[in-house]
Amino acid sequence: MITETIKKFVGRLFAPAPRGPLRIARDKHGIDRRNVSRHAIKVCEVLRQHGYEAYIVGGAVRDLIVGLEPKDFDVATNATPEEIRPLFRRARIIGRRFQLVHVVFGQEIIETSTFRAPASEDQETDEHGRILRDNVFGTQEEDAKRRDFTMNALYYDPHTEEVIDYHNGVADLKKRQIRIIGDPAKRYREDPVRMLRAVRFAAKLNGSIDPATRQPIGTMADLIENVPASRLFDEMLKLLTCGHAMDCLRQLRADGLHKGLLPLLDVVLEQPGGEHFVELALERTDARVRSGKTISPSFLFAALLWQQVDVRWKQLRSQGEHTIPALSQAADSVLDEQTEKLAIQRRFSSDMREIWFMQPRFERRMGKSIFRMIEQPRFRAACDFLQLRAAAGEFDSVLAQWWMDLANADDVTRADMIEEIARQPRDAGDAPAPRKRRRPRRSPSRGTPSAG
């Protein structure tokens, strides 16, 4: 009897620590439930009522812990897409590589995914190891293991208000350290976009990338070439709108990752004034992001590519090409080069062209022309772009401010401003184009000038 008791005591003493996730209470993680989307909570509640597990996951949990406002909320559950969809009035299954459900509440979409299993040897991949289909369902622990970074493998339970942490993600988050889960090289082959995400998170959180996580990036940067252009565009947009865009671009260049995103970036920054122009554009974008204002992708990419367009435009004009045709050729050539690698959507490239093509028209102020300018749908964006050019020393700042005052004015004030310009003596910049002289009409019978 005594011997058996001693054995049990020794067994408990030297037994391995119980495995499982950390369950972090509210007073430790600091998430205020009032800051969580009520629609995300609703999705979790409905799934729980039907016997499923459901948690808020990923970036929303990460941002709430560090005190940022999440852009969106995702839910993870052990229910399959086919089991999730009938539970909600407005829900649809999307995706092929990664099937999930979009549950729609007015303007908000709660992306709801099923717990995934980690990559296995028999999963469909391309010749570089990138996973092409990822619809093997698993447990919550397996789902945490297959997520990219420790700080993104966090599960918030709105019922208990606990954070479930399998990989010490909260500790990494407190240290602002970006650490990948598993072998970095293997994880980057599975999805090369993870390299870009590491850079973005480090810039956004003002943190650092774990040395082991960063080490393979320089030698594996070429894998970005294998990522679909549409995914690259989405990731580039996230980089540019994270509130620390210039830091992201500098880090991309340092790690050799920019070549698959903006092949002309190095050329742009090497142009006289190029880096200054890009810095001004991104600083203003960052300021808008931090103040909660909306961002126009068209304006962003128009600013990033403007220096290259401007250089080619000037080259064509120096060769004798007229202003607008030269600008059109320059814009087409730059956009063609970019869309080979970066799938800039047609609606964005169309808006970019409008912003660019309005720039020469700002050089002249004539009554009818001004009214036609105001009616253009991209007039305000083009005025903002003109302010950027003026700040970079490319355009007269006084004239640029006049156009901005016009854009901000009401209809009566606009009419007064245009009337005042009409009364002023014309300077060289406002001078109308010389009129073409009409040729005299010729008589159809004799080929001589007609008297009538």
Half-sphere exposure of 269 (CA within 13 A, CB side): 11
- Contact at 8 Å (CB) between 47 and 54? yes
**Of 91-95, 137-141, 348-352, 429-433, which gets the smallest average pLDDT?**
429-433
- Find the radius of gyration of the CA atoms of the chain: 29
Mean of the pLDDT values across residues 30-44?
A: 96
Can you give the pLDDT at residue 387?
A: 94
- Percent of the chain whose predicted confidence (pLDDT) is above 70: 81
**Does residue 69 register a pLDDT over 80?**
yes
Q: pTM of the prediction?
A: 0.74
| Measured CA distances, 327 to 104, 252, 271, 306, 353 (Å) | 43, 30, 18, 11, 9
Where is 40: in which H helix or E strand? helix 38-49
Can you give the pLDDT at residue 364?
A: 85
Mean of the pLDDT values across residues 212-241?
A: 86
Can you give the pLDDT at residue 19?
A: 62
Q: How confident is the model at residue 133 (pLDDT cuts 50, 70, 90)?
A: low
> Active-site residues: which are they?
72, 74, 148
Question: 351 by DSSP, 3-state: which?
Answer: helix
**Between residues 234 and 313, the one the model is more confident about:** 313
**Does residue 212 register a pLDDT over 90?**
yes
User: What does the block give as tokens for 183?
Assistant: 């072998």
Buried b vs exposed e over 358-373: b needs ≥16 C-beta within 10 Å? bbebbeebbeeebeeb
| Measured CA distances, 68 to 86, 112, 338 (Å) | 33, 22, 33
**Does residue 422 register a pLDDT over 70?**
yes
Mean of the pLDDT values across residues 418-445?
A: 59
- Every domain range in the chain assigned CATH 1.10.3090.10: 297-422
Mean of the pLDDT values across residues 34-50?
A: 97
Can you give the pLDDT at residue 16?
A: 43
**Between residues 27 and 429, the one the model is more confident about:** 27
Mean of the pLDDT values across residues 137-148?
A: 92
- Name the average pLDDT for the chain: 84
Can you give the pLDDT at residue 228?
A: 84
pLDDT tens per residue, range 178-208: 999 999 999 999 899 999 999 999 988 889 9
- What is the DSSP code string of 295-345? --HHHHHHHHHHHHHHHHHHHHHHTT--HHHHHHHHHHHHHHHHHTTS---
If phi > 0 it is left, if psi is from -120 to 50 it is alpha, else beta; for residue 171 that is alpha
- Contact at 8 Å (CB) between 67 and 39? no
| Domain 297-422 grouped into CATH 1.10.3090.10 | yes
Which is nearest to 143 in space by CA: 172, 173, 174, 100?
Answer: 100
| Measured CA distances, 173 to 151, 206, 243, 380, 435 (Å) | 6, 11, 18, 40, 67
**Does residue 451 register a pLDDT over 50?**
no
pLDDT tens per residue, range 398-421: 999 999 999 999 999 999 998 888
CATH class label, 17-175: alpha beta
**Between residues 396 and 269, the one the model is more confident about:** 396
Mean of the pLDDT values across residues 42-68?
A: 95
Mean of the pLDDT values across residues 80-98?
A: 91
pLDDT tens per residue, range 279-331: 888 888 888 888 878 888 899 889 988 988 998 999 999 999 999 999 999 99
pLDDT tens per residue, range 236-273: 888 888 888 888 888 888 887 876 566 556 666 666 66
Which is nearest to 112 in space by CA: 82, 86, 142, 75?
Answer: 75
**Does residue 443 register a pLDDT over 90?**
no
CA dist., res. 328 & res. 401, Å (int): 26
